[in-house]
Amino acid sequence: MEIVWDAFAQAALRLFGGDPATYTVIGLSLRVSGLSLLIATALGVPLGYLIGSRRFRGRGLVTAIVNTGMGLPPVVVGLMVYILISRSGPLSEAYVALVGEAMPRLLYTVPAMIIAQVMISTPIVTGVTLAAVGAVPAELRLQARSLGASHLQEAVLTIREARWGVMAAIAAGFGGIISEVGAVNMVGGNIEGKTRVMTTAIQLETGQGNFGLALGLGLILLGIAFVIMNAFTRVQHSGSRYER
């Protein structure tokens, strides 16, 4: 049990002791996962709406592919992104062929981490949105169309109707990436001050046997996730207040 108290002490020390390295790591985690989530939301919600609301051939197959994507192991995504952006990878070769000079390094940078996290979270946001939109009665959209709503208005109405599910989709997407270590470690490289985020810092401290500090950083990560999710839930509740 001693280690648990140590963890709390370490968490407090790092959080309130003004340790700049910890703030950098926290800021980077939020920036990488926040930006990734924005992109995943911008892609996943419209995509989920289209798949969930339209009837087309192969819809079952597309849904199955999206749902499979929700289970993609982050380390596999990391490996795929690595192979893509490596200096010996296809992207680099295409760049050299088109531009005639070497591609600026993307590996071990924040954008590389964001690419990987978008690939992890987009299927999650899409999949849960799809299920939520699919549960909205088709009659609602029919009625909207008959009252003269445009395609966009129809989409906004449907997504609004399915908002609890869509919010759950965004929350699930966030949970999936703020906590993952496999992909950011692979393409970020865990470079101190540049690509070290909460999860890779925890992994590093664990590897060095600093269990108390590792657990303390875990507590900070949990705390941050709680604050964000709590704010998110409050938004949901303020929505339901207007409804009455």
Partner 1 sequence: MIDRLRSAPVWRLTVLLLAGALAFSLAACAPQEKPLEEPVSEAPAVEVTDLILASTTSTQDSGLFGVLIPAFEEAYPQYKVNVIAKGTGEALELGQNKDADVLLVHAKAKEEQFVTDGYGTRRRDVMYNDFVIVGPSADPAGVEGLATAAEALTKISGAAAAFVSRGDESGTHTAEQKLWTKATITPSGEWYVSAGKGMGDVLTMSSELGAYTLTDRATYLSMRETLDLEILVEGDTALFNQYGVILVTDATNAEGALAFAEWITGEEAQAIIGGYGVDEFGEALFFPNADQQTTS
Site residues (CB under 8 A) for partner 1, limited to 86-115: 86-89, 102, 105, 107-108
| Residue choice 23, 65, 90, 135 for contact with partner 1 (CB under 8 A) | 23
Q: List Cα–Cα distances, 60 to 64, 115, 123, 127, in angstroms.
A: 6, 27, 15, 12
Write the binding mask 175 to 194 for partner 1: x where contact by CB under 8 A, - elsewhere: --------------xxxxxx
Residue 232 in the binding site for partner 1 (CB under 8 A): yes
| Residue choice 13, 43, 46, 211 for contact with partner 1 (CB under 8 A) | 211
The region of 8-16, 56-64, 68-76, 85-93 touching partner 1 under the rule CB under 8 A is 85-93
Q: Site for partner 1 (CB under 8 A): how many residues?
A: 51
| 87-94 CB contacts, 8 Å cutoff, 24+ apart | none
Residue 223 in the binding site for partner 1 (CB under 8 A): no
Site residues (CB under 8 A) for partner 1, limited to 29-58: 30-31, 34-35, 37-38, 41
The region of 21-29, 63-71, 116-124, 130-138 touching partner 1 under the rule CB under 8 A is 21-29
Write the binding mask 138 to 167 for partner 1: x where contact by CB under 8 A, - elsewhere: ------x--x-x---x--xx--x--x---x
Q: What's the full length of the chain, in residues?
A: 244
CB atoms within 10 A of CB 241: 7
Contacts to partner 1 by CB under 8 A: 20, 23-24, 26-28, 30-31, 34-35, 37-38, 41, 86-89, 102, 105, 107-108, 144, 147, 149, 153, 156-157, 160, 163, 167, 170, 189-194, 204, 206-209, 211, 228, 231-232, 235-236, 238-239, 242
